[in-house]
Amino acid sequence: MNKQSIWTKDFLGMSFSSFFQYMTHYALIAALPVFVMEALNGNAWQAGLAMTFFQIGAVLCRPLAGKWIDECNKKKLLVLSLGIFLAISIMYLGVNALHVLLAIRLLHGAVFAVGTTAVAAVAALLLPAQSKGEGIGYFAMFSNLAMVMGPFFSLTIISHYPFRVLIAGCIILAVLAFWTGTGSNFKKLGNGAVPKKNQSLDWNNFIETAALPMALVGGLVFFAYAGVLIFIPLYAKQLNLAEYTSLFFAVFALLIVITRPVVGKLFDRAGANSVVYPGFFLFAAGLIALSQAQGFAGLLIAGGIIGIGFGALSPVFQTLAVQLSPLQRAGVATATYFLALDISVGLGSFLLSIVASHIGYRGVYLFAAALIACTAFVYYTVWVKIVTGKLSESES
């Protein structure tokens, strides 16, 4: 039997749309604090509000996004959400006060939640069953790369040009997100809406309970990753290695790209545990190495190890969350998983900042390594006592 190809035109369209949406998001995360403090004469607390309002919008809309994806016409939903995403990107050109920026950020977070959940759910449905793990791994690689390239893109631009030039770049990215995300053939997915059996505000209409265990584990991983994403520029500056920050992220991204094909195939052939436990070990080891870094070599080696570990873990739990849920609930399952990530990154940014103020950046990375070790135990408990048990029951 011939193996179906992962790399179809439609799957690539969803992957690139995700990449361009996340590029816009992470570019603004890095640049907006500078804009708030310099152009709007704000302070550090007000700069943080720009991220907070975005996360509020995302968290509020993420559960609704999953329900809409499963029940509505997927093509129309993508056209609408990506069209609004483009319109909001243009609105940044008119920002002249903090309250205007915060209103735009709230709307941006909401539509970002719908757009990214939609392309992820559609991508998962497009993949052949025997290559689901490998395919979602590749899909996640696009957003992982955007995490790295977005800040580099924006910080490079605002260091040489006015903020409006960055917004023009983000508008171009939003146009590309719309173009790649709406050009796919949705007929093979069943383009019509799923019958709406229950329109109440019942929990199950918005949250897929089968996806919650893996959403919890994935959320803990991203909680720890928030410390890497936020504090690396400050930590590198403390080590007098600020000029190597972009190189750290480059090595991080390169190792994700190099190892992702191996990780995806290993997942499909040998099962999730063959990827998860080595991933936990390498992520924790990389965080410990980062906490002990003295020179640029130590910083870059730690970035490479973290890239392999985090790159292995980040797509696995998304894949499992979808696989353990009913096929017709793929949208809600994806939204449930991403909702956990939204909450975890938001809490991680806030709580790890408090930890850093007491024990410093080295202490934060040691704390994050300990958290990853605990997360491995949580995963073991979830997988053995909950997931495997339920699968056994369904097969008996």
Q: What is the pLDDT of residues 159-205, one digit of tens each?
A: 789 999 999 999 999 999 999 998 877 665 554 444 555 555 566 67
298-353 pLDDT, tens digit each:
999 999 999 999 988 988 888 888 888 887 787 788 888 888 988 888 788 778 87
Distances in Å between the Cα of 52 and the Cα atoms of 82, 211, 264, 343 are 22, 25, 33, 11
Task: Give the distance from CA 167 to its chain's centroid.
Answer: 22
DSSP state of 194: P
CATH number for the 7-187 domain, one of 1.20.1250.20, 3.40.1260.10, 3.30.1490.100, 3.30.390.10? 1.20.1250.20
Alpha-carbon distances of 209 from 56, 229, 322, 333, rounded to whole Å: 22, 29, 11, 8
Consecutive H or E run containing 149: helix 132-158
Domains of the chain, by residue range, sit at 7-187, 207-396
Structure tokens at 210: 């089968």
- Topology of domain 207-396, CATH: Growth Hormone; Chain: A; (1.20.1250)
Report residues of the chain scoring pLDDT below 50: 1, 191-194, 391-396
Residue 130 confidence (pLDDT): 75
For residue 3, the model assigns a pLDDT of: 62
So what's the pLDDT on residue 226?
Answer: 79
The token pair at 119 is 């392309």
Backbone dihedral angles phi then psi of residue 269, each to the nearest 5 degrees: -90, -35
